[in-house]
């Protein structure tokens, strides 16, 4: 081999050796930067077409948006010590972001967060913060007002019914907003409410739904974890239904479907994951509204009149533009007491103090 060929060969080998070193040094770092483990725990089944499925599909969209994110998911976890154990086990598996997706997981999550200050937690609907725990939710009364408009324009009996887990202020605020929306287009509307005392009890929900239907109700709404029982029972008897939590409820009652309120968490969860990965995440109490990408009005069913759809869309834009409030006075409660004077309104920031139901709602918080 002559000198020129030897020099060329030596240079080529040197270049190949450098490439090998670059690959050897660069790949582990790139892989480490791209990986994130996210843990999410659920109070119920992720196939409930409701609260839990909305959260579960949210993390699946997050994973689709960020393929290098790994999800650890556990269903049917009781609130309390079991939730703490599951979260700690996720952290031991390397989870750096935890979503304790039930209201009752807040205190367990705060205890675990204190033990693991480098892990980030985001809790839905919580009212306490920690340096490494933030909260998120969406203000729903405006959306319930829109559902009231649709129901008020669709009903034939002027009677709606709501099957509701508990008589807590936020749920009362939603019922009130729904009824006020319905009354805005149908002054004869009445809304009957049954409180279940629990978030998930299918036989009890079926009994309550049929009892309301027996009273002439022909539009059923629901504020429990899974809407399946209520919307199916309504459709079976030729009534209409309004969904909550999950965007895909319509398939369970397609003939009687009016519309629904859905939480579409995917893009928000994607933002949370990106913030953790690039170290920009911060603890905050995030509250969305109809302008947010995680509070969605579901598609309308065939029974909803076109003028109702038009009015819902126009009113939605008024809420977004700040030109409308769901609780515009004068408003009396269902005992005849004036709660909001003419020309005034009940601000959304005060719905946590709403312990009454509006005039025309039959039922009492206990």
Q: Domain residues of the chain, as ranges?
A: 36-138, 141-262+297-362
Q: What is the pLDDT of residue 348?
A: 83
71-103: per-residue pLDDT in tens?
A: 999 999 999 999 999 999 999 999 999 999 999
Residue-level pLDDT at 349: 84
Q: For residue 317, what pLDDT band results from cuts at 50, 70 and 90?
A: very high
Q: Which residues pair with 136 in a beta bridge?
A: 124, 286
Q: What percent of the chain has pLDDT over 70?
A: 90
The answer to whether 265 and 294 are in contact (CB under 8 A) is yes
Is the confidence at residue 1, as pLDDT, over 90?
no
Whether the domain at 36-138 and the domain at 141-262+297-362 fall into the same CATH topology:
yes
Residue-wise pLDDT tens digits, 210-238: 999 999 999 999 999 999 999 999 999 99
Instruction: Give the pLDDT score at 270.
Output: 98
For residues 358 and 338, give the distance between their C-alpha atoms in angstroms, rounded to a whole number: 10
Q: Which CATH class is domain 141-262+297-362?
A: alpha beta
Q: Per residue in 335-366, pLDDT tens?
A: 999 999 999 999 888 888 999 999 999 998 86
Could you read off the pLDDT of 172-214 as tens digits, one per residue?
999 999 999 999 999 999 999 999 999 999 999 999 999 999 9
DSSP annotation of 300 reads P
Identify the bridge partners of residue 101 per DSSP, sorted by sequence position.
Answer: 42
269 with 281: CB under 8 angstroms?
no
Mean pLDDT of the residues in the chain: 92
The H or E element spanning position 235 is: helix 228-236
Rounded to an integer, what distance in angstroms lies between the CA atom of residue 145 and that of residue 181?
Answer: 4
- Whether residue 115 is predicted with pLDDT greater than 60 in this model: the reply is yes
Is the pLDDT at 255 greater than 90, yes or no? yes
The pLDDT value given to residue 16: 47
Q: What is the CATH number of domain 36-138?
A: 3.40.50.2300
- % helix, strand, coil for the chain, step of 5: 45, 20, 35
Q: What is the DSSP letter of 330?
A: P
* 27 pLDDT more than 60: no
pLDDT higher than 60, residue 29: no
- CA–CA separation, 290 and 316 (whole Å): 7
pTM: 0.89
Q: Percent of the chain scored above 90 by pLDDT?
A: 88
């Amino acid at each position: 081999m002559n000198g020129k060929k030897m020099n060329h060969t030596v240079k080529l080998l040197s270049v190949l050796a450098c490439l090998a070193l670059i690959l050897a040094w660069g790949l582990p770092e790139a892989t480490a930067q791209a990986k994130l483990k996210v843990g999410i725990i659920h109070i119920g089944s992720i196939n409930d077409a409701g609260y839990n499925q909305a959260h579960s599909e949210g993390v699946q969209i997050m994973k689709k948006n960020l393929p290098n994110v790994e999800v650890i998911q556990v269903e049917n976890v009781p609130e309390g010590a079991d939730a703490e154990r599951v979260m700690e086990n996720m952290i031991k598996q390397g989870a750096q972001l935890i979503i304790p997706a039930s209201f009752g997981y807040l205190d367990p999550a705060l205890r675990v967060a204190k033990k693991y200050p480098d892990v980030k937690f985001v809790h839905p609907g919580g009212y306490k913060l920690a340096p490494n725990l933030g909260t998120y939710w969406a203000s729903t009364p405006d959306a319930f007002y829109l559902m009231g408009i649709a129901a008020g324009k669709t009903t034939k009996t002027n009677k709606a019914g709501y099957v509701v887990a508990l008589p807590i202020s936020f749920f009362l605020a939603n019922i009130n907003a729904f009824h006020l929306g319905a009354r805005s287009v149908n002054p004869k509307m009445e809304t009957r409410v049954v409180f279940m005392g629990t978030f998930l009890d299918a036989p009890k929900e079926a009994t309550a739904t049929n009892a309301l239907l027996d009273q002439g109700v022909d539009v059923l709404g629901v504020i429990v974890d899974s809407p399946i029982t209520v919307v199916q029972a309504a459709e079976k008897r030729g009534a209409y239904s309004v969904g909550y939590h999950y965007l895909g409820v319509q398939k369970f009652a397609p003939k009687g479907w009016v519309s629904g309120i859905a939480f579409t968490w995917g893009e928000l969860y994607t933002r949370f994951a990106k913030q953790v990965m690039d170290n920009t995440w911060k603890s905050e109490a995030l509250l969305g509204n109809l302008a947010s990408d995680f509070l969605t009005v579901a598609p309308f069913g065939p029974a909803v009149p076109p003028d109702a759809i038009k009015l819902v869309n126009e009113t939605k834009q008024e809420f977004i533009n700040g030109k409308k409030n769901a609780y515009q006075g004068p408003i009396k409660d269902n005992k005849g007491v004036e709660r909001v004077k003419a020309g005034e309104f009940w601000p959304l920031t005060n719905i946590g103090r709403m312990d009454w139901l509006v005039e025309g709602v039959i039922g009492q918080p206990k």
